[in-house]
Every structure is written in structure tokens, then in C-alpha cells.
């Protein structure tokens, strides 16, 4: 059994990780750490885990794999302050190590570099919007087929903002309301460009990204379009070939909606071509494929398990 621990287990991603790991056939959940909730029952904070008789610990303990589910900046501090066993694998769900330079973390998008993840000790889990957009663009970028500006309109649920309260995360503000934020300046843009340049070192086209706060709790829908001279059949075949051995990305003909992927580790892609314009709809659950599920997917690869172990989750359509 893989002995797993979670640092920062009281937040949304920590709660989702607990839910997945307690049902994982090859994992023993050694500890759930939270300074703010230390001593409390996990199920008192994560009510959906009622019946789990485990308490939050104040300290980070020994484990075969550590998941960092802390706020941005805290993982980097922890790596500097603590001495971890060199054999302990670390999967960080924050932004701290996603951009290359000055560290040994491998970017954990399995559909991009599965082989490097298999041999890695430290993994930087991708961002949620980045995952949705990268999976929609990778096959075309890998064939050097993105030659014109990319336009992205993406909407995300309130859980993407984390548990800390702010004016725009209160129910009274979010309910019956949507708004644009960080237009053309979202922090995931650097991460997305880095990923696309990894498969196309000449990728220089602008990415115009306008994110939207949705009036729902979880899920991301990204609407992406750019010019191309490929036919619809050719584009769809290109995507099917690229993702043929990746279990969680599916090319579908029906118009996807967020409920089709909520509570799953899937990414659904719908591709249409309109008069020389490719339109791709990408939907994921921001807390699963965009965070905790992808982290477990990376763990499976790092420990030599089948990639989908513990991740055959059913969507909650109704």
C-alpha cells in the first residue's frame, strides 16, 4: 500500500483528495494535516466524508507521497524550511513550481509528458483553467498547426477561487450573477504558453483569454477558436490519434456541458469547423481533472500503477 499524506487538507482540493484516496485500492491515507483545523474530525470540516473516523493533524508526517494543497507561495516556503526524505514523492497543487527554472519539479500533465512523470520525484500539478485549455490545444500545437491568434472564453465555478471568503465568492454575490475577471492577464497564461512551446518551440501566436466567474460551484467550460485551413474530419482525426492512449480525454460529437464531467477526471472535447475557423469546447471538473483527480493520476504513474486506478468516477448529471 502507498502511504499518502495531505498538507493543507481542510480546503476544497484537500477534501476532494481525501474522498478519492480513501477509496483508492492501493493507498493508505496516513494523515490529513491542517494547522487551522488540527484535532478536529475530518468529517466535521468535510461533511461529505461523514463516517470517516480520522482527525486533522497539526504536523506533516512521514509518507511515501505528500500532496501539497496549500495556498500559493506556501509550498515553496515548505520546501525551503523542511527536510523531506529524498525517497518521498511530492505532488504540489499550487502555482509555485509550474513555471520552469530553479527547481526539479516536473509539470504534471500526463497527456503531455507521461514518461517524465513516471520517473519524477516532484510534480507540479497543472492549474485548472490551464488543464482545460492545454488539452484543447495540444494536438494542434504538436502538429505546428496553430498559426493565428487563439481566442478563449472560459467560465469557472466558485470553488476555483478557494475557500477563503472574498466579495466575489459570497453566495449573495455569486447567485444569479456572472462577471469577467483578469481579462487578458490570467496567471495561467504563462503556464499555457510554456506547455504549448514544449510541443512547438516556434509557438508565438497571442492567446486572448477572457475568464468568467460562473454562478455555480464547480466545473470549467472553455470555448476556444482560431483560424485553420484543416477540414473538420481532419481535425477530429488528429485529436483522436493524439489522445488514443490517454484514458481521460474524449472527443465527442454532442455539445458538452459541465454536468457531464462534474465529479469525474474526464475532459470532454467537442470540435467544429466553421468557414475556416476551428471551435473547440473543453469541459472539466476544476476540482478533479483540474486539481485533485489529476494529482492522483500523477501519483498512479509515479508508483507504476495503471493510470486510471481509483479514478473511475461517475458524473453527477442530475
- Asked if residue 109 lies in contact with residue 200, where contact means CB atoms within 8 angstroms, the answer is no
* Beta strands at 2-7 and 27-33: parallel, antiparallel or unpaired: parallel
Smallest CA-to-CA distance from 91 within 306, 303, 307 is with 303
Report DSSP letters for 13-54, one per residue.
Answer: HHHHHHHHHTT-TTEEEEEEE-TTTTTSBHHHHSGGGTT---
Which residue among 32, 69, 128, 267 is the active-site one? 128
Residue 235 gets the label, from left (phi > 0), alpha (psi -120 to 50) or beta, of alpha
Residue 32 annotated among the catalytic residues of the structure: no
Which residues are registered as beta bridge partners of 9?
A: none
Handedness of CA 282, 287, 291, 295 (dihedral sign): negative
How many Å from the N-terminal Cα to the C-terminal Cα in the chain?
35
Smallest CA-to-CA distance from 96 within 75, 69, 121 is with 75
Which residues are registered as beta bridge partners of 311?
A: none
Q: How many CB atoms lie within 10 A of CB 188?
A: 23
The residues annotated as belonging to the active site are 128
Amino acid at each position: 500500500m502507498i502511504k499518502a499524506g495531505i498538507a493543507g487538507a481542510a480546503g476544497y482540493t484537500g477534501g476532494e483528495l481525501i474522498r478519492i484516496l480513501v477509496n483508492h485500492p492501493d493507498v493508505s491515507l496516513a494523515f490529513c494535516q491542517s494547522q487551522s483545523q488540527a484535532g478536529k474530525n475530518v468529517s466535521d470540516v468535510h461533511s461529505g466524508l461523514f463516517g470517516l473516523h480520522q482527525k486533522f493533524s497539526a504536523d506533516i508526517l512521514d509518507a511515501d507521497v505528500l500532496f501539497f494543497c496549500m495556498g500559493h507561495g506556501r509550498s515553496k516556503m515548505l520546501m525551503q524550511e523542511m527536510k523531506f526524505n529524498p525517497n518521498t514523492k511530492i505532488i504540489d497543487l499550487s502555482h509555485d513550481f509550474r513555471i520552469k527554472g530553479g527547481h526539479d519539479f516536473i509539470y504534471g500533465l500526463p497527456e503531455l509528458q507521461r514518461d517524465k512523470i513516471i520517473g519524477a520525484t516532484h510534480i507540479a500539478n497543472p492549474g485548472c483553467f490551464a488543464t482545460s485549455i492545454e488539452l484543447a490545444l495540444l494536438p494542434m500545437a504538436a502538429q505546428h498547426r496553430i498559426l493565428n491568434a487563439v481566442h478563449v472564453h472560459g467560465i469557472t465555478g466558485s470553488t476555483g477561487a478557494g475557500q477563503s471568503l472574498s466579495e466575489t465568492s459570497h453566495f449573495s454575490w455569486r447567485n444569479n450573477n456572472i462577471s469577467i475577471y483578469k481579462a487578458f492577464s490570467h496567471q495561467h497564461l504563462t503556464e499555457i504558453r510554456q506547455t504549448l512551446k514544449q510541443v512547438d518551440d516556434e509557438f508565438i501566436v497571442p492567446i486572448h483569454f477572457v475568464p468568467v466567474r460562473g454562478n455555480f460551484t464547480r466545473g470549467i467550460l472553455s470555448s476556444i477558436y482560431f483560424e485553420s485551413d484543416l477540414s473538420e474530419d481532419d481535425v477530429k482525426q488528429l485529436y483522436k490519434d493524439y489522445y488514443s492512449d490517454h484514458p481521460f480525454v474524449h472527443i465527442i460529437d454532442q455539445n458538452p456541458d459541465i454536468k457531464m464531467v462534474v465529479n469525474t477526471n474526464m475532459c470532454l472535447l467537442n470540435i467544429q469547423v466553421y468557414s475556416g475557423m476551428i471551435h473547440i469546447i473543453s469541459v472539466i471538473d476544476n476540482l478533479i481533472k483540474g486539481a485533485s483527480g489529476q494529482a492522483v493520476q500523477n501519483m498512479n504513474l509515479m508508483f507504476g500503477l495503471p493510470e486510471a486506478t481509483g479514478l473511475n468516477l461517475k458524473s453527477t448529471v442530475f
